[in-house]
Chains A and B, each alone.
Chain A
Amino acid sequence: MKKIFSALLAVTLSLAAFGINPVLAEDKPKVVRFGSPGSSYGKPLGAGQIGFIQARNLFEEEFKKDGITIEWNFIKATGPGVNEALSNNSIDIGSLGDLPSIAGRSGGLKTRLVAVSGRGGNTYVVVPADSTINSIRDLKGKKVGVALGTYMHAALLKIIKDAGLTVRDLNLVSADSATLNTAIATKDVDAAFISSDAYTLRSRGVARIIYDTKNAPVFYQQSGALVVREAFAKRYPDTVKRFVKVWVKASQLAGQNKAETLKLNTRTGSPLATLKEDAEGKSMLFAYSPVFDEHFLNHYKRSIGFYKENKLIRKTFDIEKEWIDRSYLDAALKDLKLEKFWPQYDVNGNPKKK
């Protein structure tokens, strides 16, 4: 009897709270539509957190009680496609690389940057196996393929600049990664700037790697962003907060278990050997830290300047004042007691000593 009474009391109280505090009564979306770059076969390109969210049902664990489901969109047009999907409201939350996310924001896309979505993405320069090209300098006047608007496009500009070349020195051809992989095999391009697919091409004997960003300054590697449509964040702040919590959980798992992360990343369609070689010497903790640390902030600020200089964007902006919203991440870290879990990485990507 006493139990029933207290249960009734609890219900009444919560109802009262519901009535007087409209914040608690935030309406909930039926579905959270998530989008990230995908391969030509509709598989995710960068698995990382996504792999863990899917494999461990982290999203369902958090949202099942509210009946909220998640819709995964792995967009073939990669980062630029994620921007388009955000702009025409076909997704709510997206994960994308540095160049597309900054280009989107610079182009006036109304998003909030709520967490870091993955760092250390490498770019590889491959040439057909029997090519005479041996260095970046040799690319002068050659037909070079890259997926324009992706982080590899940004990496290309940095890499050729070091070799004293500009885009005008190259015959630049834009194509998606699947096309470029074929084009290298059929020698339709003289060189291509691609992802770790380079290792797969090399193991098939069709390509040679003449350059990679593994040992280049960390600025040459990509840093991704988790962004939310501003209208969605305004309407469902609590849902966004909980989504970021799921993301942070997945980031922790991805950062802790290198072997498992790489295994899950084979969902991208890349063979394990390729992923292992790509991640050789890479700190998973660094790669999957969701935190806006010195490295990330510096990377984005410097990138904005660099893109502007290279006419990839026309408007610059202040990422801290105009884009980042730390409230979701701060709340998630606090909820999960992970405020101290990730080291702060400095501009060179090294953990700062406390």
Chain B
Amino acid sequence: MKLEQLKNLTFALIIPLVLLIAWDVATRLELVSAQLLPPPRMLFESWLEMQRNGELRDNMEVSLLRVVLGFLLGAGVGFLLGAAMGVWREVELYLSPLFNCVRQVPIVGWLPFLILWLGIDELFKVVFIAVGTLIPVSVKTLEGIKGVPASYLEVARVFRFGWARTLRTVIIPCALPSIVTGLRLGLSEAWMLVVGAELVAASAGIGNVMTIARRLFQTDVVLVGVIVIAVTGYLMDRLLGLLELRLLGWRRANGAH
């Protein structure tokens, strides 16, 4: 198992490493100008500098707080909405056409109206992120619940499980994998949207750091921002992945791998 993990890690690192070397060589030979693509060395120095003077930490804190608030709000509402539609047929009947219409609109399509309604401050950013999170979470929750095999529900009925017990012992365990997938999708959406929201207007946050750097022609800082966003997003997804393993490990053990 350990060996296999190591092998996987090696495979995963090959392409990034090759790219990194190609990138470094290209900048050393001045095939591309350092302004269009700053050399890796320069990025590392900028990253170190930003780490040292606290610029990165302070702004990441602000952005992460926005993500957490937006995600919790969006995931909470999204779960309730999806669950309600999944459990009660009537709710689905009333809501699903509207919901399916609304979710066709790309989140950035809501930008002008959200700004109009909520201004450009924190509330706007949190709601913007929440809307983006809500959609995948509710869709996946609904899917998960609808996917509970009818035979399982029948068994529950035969054993005269109550409503709550059916939910707890049959519906939730069955729907959980899909719900967790929804949460993972929602989280990565939230993380992408925080940057978008901050590019619109902000006085702090990683997106704001990038906006200022762009205006001041600090291409390296912009690129450091891109990399930090990518790595943080990846780590957050891994974290949810571990949670999934913890919650749903039994599925893998049962050969559902």
Contacts and interface: CB of A to CB of B under 8 A. Distances in A.
Given A84-B217, A148-B212, 20 more contacts: A80-B217, A83-B217, A87-B35, A87-B36, A87-B217, A88-B36, A103-B216, A103-B217, A108-B34, A109-B217, A149-B215, A149-B217, A171-B203, A172-B203, A173-B201, A174-B201, A174-B211, A313-B216, A314-B49, A314-B218
A84 B33 CA distance: 12
Most buried by B among A84, A100, A106: A84
Contacts of A109: 35, 217
A188 interface: yes
28 contacts: A80-B217, A83-B217, A87-B217, A88-B36, A100-B217, A103-B216, A103-B217, A103-B218, A106-B217, A107-B217, A107-B218, A107-B219, A109-B217, A110-B33, A148-B212, A149-B217, A153-B215, A172-B203, A173-B120, A173-B201, A173-B203, A174-B201, A174-B211, A174-B215, A175-B201, A188-B120, A314-B49, A314-B218
Interface in A281-315: 312-314
Contact of A80 (B36, B201, B216): B216
A148 B35 contact: no
Contacts of A99: 216
A172 B218 CA distance: 19
Contacts of A149: 212, 215-217
A349 interface: no
Contacts of A148: 211-212, 215-216
The interface residues of chain B, by DSSP majority, are classed as loop
A153 B216 CA distance: 10
Contacts of A313: 216
A118 interface: no
B120 A107 contact: no
B217 A104 contact: yes
A148 B36 CA distance: 21
Contacts of A174: 201, 211-212, 215
B55 to A, nearest CB: 9
Nearest to B119: A188
A317 to B, nearest CB: 14
Contacts of A188: 119-120
Contacts of A103: 216-218
Contacts of A314: 49, 218
B165 interface: no
Interface string B118-151: 0110000000000000000000000000000000
Interface string B13-42: 000000000000000000001111000000
B7 interface: no
Contacts of B216: 80, 99, 103, 107, 148-149, 312-313
B103 interface: no
B214 interface: yes
Q: 7 closest pairs, A vs B, by CB?
A: A149-B215, A107-B217, A148-B215, A80-B215, A87-B35, A103-B216, A103-B217
A83 B215 CA distance: 9
